[in-house]
Amino acid sequence: MKPQKAWRLGLIGYPLEHSGSPVLHRTALAQTGLTGTYRLYPLVEKNMIPQLLDQLRSGELDGLNVTIPYKQTVLPLMDQITPAAQAIGAVNTIINNSGLLVGDNTDADGFWKDISPLLDTKEISAKTALVLGAGGAARAVVYELVKQGWQVTLVARRLAQAEVLLETLELPNLKTAHWDSLKKLSFYNPYSLLVNATPVGMFPHQETSPIPDEINLPTHLTVYDLIYNPYETMLLKKAKLNGNAVLNGIGMLVNQAAQAFSLWTDKDAPVDKMKRNLLRKYGLKEK
Ligand code: NAP
């Protein structure tokens, strides 16, 4: 019998000790019956990246994820860049396509796979979304929402940052609003979806929320928080009590990994089992 291929996958970034990727990909390998490893490559210096990319190009490695601070650094080192990675301006997954390195970004896909089943259960009168924050994660979310036909208002405390994001994305149906707009109840009415893509509310500042205390969100708003630690942020807790449909970002994290795994191996990833093992690793409980 032909020996089974051993998959050599890994993650480059720094620091990496709290990354959830190893548990996600090792679960995916085990559950799909593949053998192999998912190694961490904590690179202190960016000049160590080309050597690893050579290993991927030569077939010594089969796939790499990229995380902070190298998601932008690797862009010019790719042979090809997918439209998603190009638009988002960051690569989180590298595939070896017959000796050519293809830089992709699976965050946008991960977000959409997670949120779309929830949106499907709602009667959405207008595909209009508020996205809070104008950093890397907001870029992926905005890219995907616009691709899916949504009109997006980007809400940022530094309007200049939001304007840059809007200009460089070069997408239709985008506008910006200042953070102070969140203080007005009437501001929310035209929107069906609110996405928090800021770290406000994240551990260890879980007592904070991007939405002012005195605001009770209109109940027709679906609320998505990219944060998953705590599992239920102040934003989600309050919105849930208020009657809004809510979801945290754990599914996005799992689905971006699942998509990367499928791109490398051509196998469907076991998302439920991956999520369960990730929650266990982080000591989080589903609510
Ligand atoms: P980032 O690039 O640093 O961007 C953060 C954005 O939030 C910036 O626009 C920043 O504005 C804004 N912000 C930070 N503190 C704020 C505050 N107190 N008030 C208003 N705006 C504030 O970070 P990122 O990579 O986009 O990540 C954002 C969040 O998403 C993090 O919590 C991260 O853990 C989460 N995330 C989750 C997933 C997932 O799979 N679930 C994936 C990626 C990221 P300034 O530039 O003015 O500070």
Which residues belong to the active site?
A: 71
Ligand 1 close to Cβ of residue 249 (< 6 A): yes
Strand order in the sheet with 6-13: 35-42, 6-13, 63-66, 93-97, 100-104, 80-81
Distance of alpha carbon 181 from alpha carbon 187, whole angstroms: 6
Per-residue pLDDT, 79: 98
Report the alpha-carbon angle 30-107-25, nearest 5.
Answer: 10
Instruction: Please give the Cα distance from 85 to 92 (Å, whole number).
Output: 8
pLDDT at 3 over 80: no
How do residues 16-60 score in pLDDT, each as one tens digit? Answer: 999 999 999 999 999 999 999 999 999 989 999 999 999 999 999
83: Cα separation from own chain's centroid: 16
Mean pLDDT, rounded, for 247-276 = 98
Tell me the per-residue pLDDT of 132-185, one tens digit each, with 9 for 90 and over: 999 999 999 999 999 999 999 999 999 999 999 999 998 999 999 999 999 999
- Give the pLDDT confidence score for residue 286 in this predicted structure: 85
Sign of CA dihedral 276, 278, 281, 285: negative
In the three-class reduction of DSSP (H, G, I as helix; E, B as strand; rest coil), residue 142 is classed as: helix
pTM, whole model, 2 decimals?
0.96
Pocket test for ligand 1, best of 71, 226, 236, 252 (most atoms within 8 A of CB): 226
